[in-house]
Structure formats: structure tokens, C-alpha cells
Amino acid sequence: MATLNDLLRHHTALPEGAQQHLRRLVAGWGPLSDLSFGDLLLFAPAKDQRLLIVGQVRPTTNQTLYRTDHVGMFMRNRPMVRTAMDEGVTAEGTVERADLKEPVRIEALPVRHNGDVVGVLVSESIRFGSRGPGELERVYLGVVNRLFTMVTEGSYPYPFDDSTVEGSPRVGDGVIVLDPTGVVQYTSPNAISALHRMGFHANSVGRSLTEMGVPRDMLRTTFGLRAPLTHDLERGEKVAIQLRLLPLVSRGEADGALVLLRDVSDIRRQERLLVSMDATLREIHHRVKNNLQTVSSLLRLQGRRVTEPAAKTALDEASRRIRSIALVHEVLSREGGDDVVLGDVVQPVVQMVQRALMDPDRPVEVRVVGTGPVIPAETASSLAVVLTELIQNAMEHGFPNADVTDERRVTVELQSHKRELTLRVTDNGVGLPADFHAEDDPGLGLTIIRTLASADLGGRFDLESNLNGPGTVAQLTVEF
């Protein structure tokens, strides 16, 4: 199914401002559907003079009349829609449908933007039959008629709105209707229940919303700016009610407001738990990093006391491997969560190896190209160790003496496509011996790389001479 943006862009000649107005209408028309107890269809004028349905929403307060989606359908024979589009007036009537026992009430409203009709909003519903509407239905219909008038005047949707915020209150969660002074005229049963959870048990009708804990400045701002606002009322850590104030505007002035309420106590409690868990994870990663750095420091201290060159080198290399894992936990302790941007790990690993191995008389430039994808922490830890070994091998074996080249370079490239990551380390050194085979090399560094690449990362490792110039290319390809 084509999106609203696609339909407006490809099938209408509406200017960008008008398209944005219709997008805001669709983003915030849930209350209109619920308050009218009807399905809403949004029509836009197509380039070929037909009528195009670009939006559809079903009510949560009544049964829908449409089991299928009509978005993207072109129509010609909709007289009331055509009247609203061409003449700029509201058209009302009823139609008979063979699949329904009662006639469908239709209201076609011209949608205005900067004085021009840019679409038609159609409300279709079967109202209350022989029983007639109750108090709740009468209030809802009265409020939605005011909102429909705002649509025809161009003041709804609001120019500045946060209606797309996830979890925003709906009509079914609770409704309060205010007069122009902020005094409550009506409170729905669900709104009364929400107020009771707040500890407000008095009759709310005839009382100011500020008596229930809503800041007076919020009401003034909503009425003054003629823009919706959202506010949380909290009672301790157990109860939280979210209020969304929608000003009712008539001829450019706010003459009341619709307040939607939702009990978000469980949501806020879960958010606090997530924050606490995130802080705990950060602290764990911080402690793991500190412990690994302590082990690394002990190995370096032990290395200073060892006189055997081979043993000293082994301890230094073990210390670097541990520090490379510690760097991953350091990133996690700052960012939180279980995933990291690979580039945030690669840069400190490069700097760490450079500081440890750089000879001032024979400097090697190490460049990082790309930032890499977001990957799990376990994958990042193994990649950090592999990268440490690859850079160390490139610096130690690629440039064994001072006569290799005047410009010693090692390039680390990070490339990703879909779910595949390629880590490539290239140097411009002496290259590999003619009889060298990576899979047969007994060295510890390559053994660690091969083991991590196959066992931990499930990837493929290749090491070969550079075909495009001097030096060696080491490449690791893994899925993440």
C-alpha cells in the first residue's frame, strides 16, 4: 500500500504547505473518529480531476463500516465529496448500503489551508438507532462538531502538535470538556476513574482544572497559543495520569478545551525500571573495565620484571589483548545498552596499539575509514581482539626495518552491507613471503585471529599480498 506522502506527491498537484497540512490532519485525527463514532476518509484532488482517498481511520468507540482499506482508491461518483471540494461547503446526507440494515450518515467537510480547500474529510457512521444518544454520546458529538468546524476554518489540525507521540491519550481513555475559563463542563466515566486514582473524589463538574493539580500556566498557554499541550500529573511513584489539552477554537479565539486523560502509571513504572536497569548495566561494564585494566596493569608490571625477551613480549601482547576488551566495556559504560557502534571501539583500539608499538624513529600512520554498523557487545569484544592482532602484525611484520618505505601506512576499513560486516587492514609494507600460507602459520597472533573468526564470529578470514601495490591485505568478513 502506498503511503500518504507517496499518494500526495505522485497523484496530486497540491503545494508542499497543503500536503503538510493534510499530513498533520492524519497524524492527529484519532479523536475526531472516536468522538464522531465514525470512520473517517480523507479525499484529495487528483491531477486527473478524480477524487483520491489518501487516508482512512476507524473509530475505537464504535464498530467500523469498512473491513478493507480504501487508501489509494480513485473515485468519481461521490456527489457530497464533490460538493464539499468544489463549493467549499459542508455536505450532509444518508445513503443505503446493501450490507447494512440501517442507513449510513455521511458528513463531507472541506479541509482548508490558508483559505483554500485542499481536501475533504468524510465522516461515515451509523448512529444510535431507536434508543437515541445518551449523555456521553451527546457531549462527544457536540465536541466533534466544534472540531469539524475548526477543520473547515483551517484551525485544525493545529500548526504545532505532538499528536504522534507514542501512547498519547485517546478518547476511550477519558474525556473532560472545559469552558473558556477552564471550568469543567463534563467528565466521562473513564476520566472520573482516572481522577479517583489521583485521589480526587469530589464532583469535578463546575470546578477548575487547576483544582485537580493542572498548572494554571498550562491552561493559559493552551488557550493563548491555541495549541495542544501534554502534561503528567503524578502522585508519588505509583500513580501517573497523562493529560492532553486540545483547545477548541472558534473564529481565531479559544472558547474551551477538550482534555484527554490516560492512566500511564504502569508505563512510568516500567520506564523507571528501565532507567535503573540501564544504570546498573553501565555500572557493571564500568567495573568489568576497571577489573580488566587491573589485570592488564599486573601483566605489564610482571613484564617489567621478566628478563627473557620472549616472555616479556608474550606478557606485553597479553596485556594489549585484555586492554582491547576493556575498551569495549568502557564504551558500553558510557553509552549503556548491549550494542555499540563499531567505530567507537576501533578508534581507541588503534590509538592503544599505536602508543604501545610506535617507534619514534620509524612512525607508522594508521588511518580508519568508515564508522561501521551497530553490533552486539560480544561481537565487538571479539572484533577488538582481532583488530589488535591485525594492526600489531601489520606494524611489526610489514615494516621490519628502516629501509622499507619513507611513508609507512596502515589503513583500517570498516564496510557493512545489509547484515554483513567487512573489516579490512591494509599496509604498504614488505608483503608476505612467497611461501607463506596463513592457515599453516603457527604464530599465536594468527592462531587467535583464526579461532575468533571461525568459532566466535562465524566469519571468514583471508590474508594475502596486496594486488594493487606493496604490502599486505588482511580481511575479516562476518555477519552480525
Q: What is the CATH number of the domain that holds 12?
A: 3.30.450.280
Residues 6+ apart with CB under 8 A from 193: 174
Domain count, the chain: 4
Q: Is 413 exposed, middle or buried (0-12, 13-18, 19+ CB in 10 A)?
A: middle
97 and 202 share one domain: no
- The answer to whether the beta carbons of residues 325 and 333 sit under 8 Å apart is no
Predicted local distance difference test score (pLDDT) of residue 406: 65
Predicted local distance difference test score (pLDDT) of residue 231: 86
438 and 461 share one domain: yes
Q: What is the CATH number of the domain that holds 255?
A: 3.30.450.20
13 and 96 share one domain: yes
Give per-residue burial for 28-46: e unless 16+ CB within 10 Å, then b.
Answer: bbbbbbbbbbbbbbbbbbb
Predicted local distance difference test score (pLDDT) of residue 44: 95
48 and 121 share one domain: yes
Global pTM value? 0.64
CA torsion angle 113 2 94 126 (round to 10): -110
87 and 193 share one domain: no
- The answer to whether the beta carbons of residues 343 and 413 sit under 8 Å apart is no
Local mean pLDDT, 10-residue blocks, the chain (480 residues): 86 93 93 94 92 94 89 89 94 85 90 94 81 85 95 89 65 93 93 88 88 84 88 83 91 90 85 76 79 83 84 83 82 76 88 79 85 87 89 84 69 90 91 78 82 88 85 90
248 and 370 share one domain: no
Predicted local distance difference test score (pLDDT) of residue 162: 57
Residue 158 lies in a domain: no
Residue range(s) defining the domain that contains residue 468: 362-480
Residue 161 lies in a domain: no
Among 263, 291, 315, residue at a domain's last position: 263
178 and 231 share one domain: yes
Q: Rounded distance, CA 375 to CA 345, Å?
A: 11
Cβ neighbours around 103 below 10 Å, total:
13
315 and 448 share one domain: no
133 and 26 share one domain: yes
Residue 353 lies in a domain: no
308 and 428 share one domain: no
Q: Tell how far CA 215 is from the center of its chain.
A: 30
Count of helices and strands (H, E) across the chain: 12, 18
CA torsion angle 22 27 33 38 (round to 10): 60
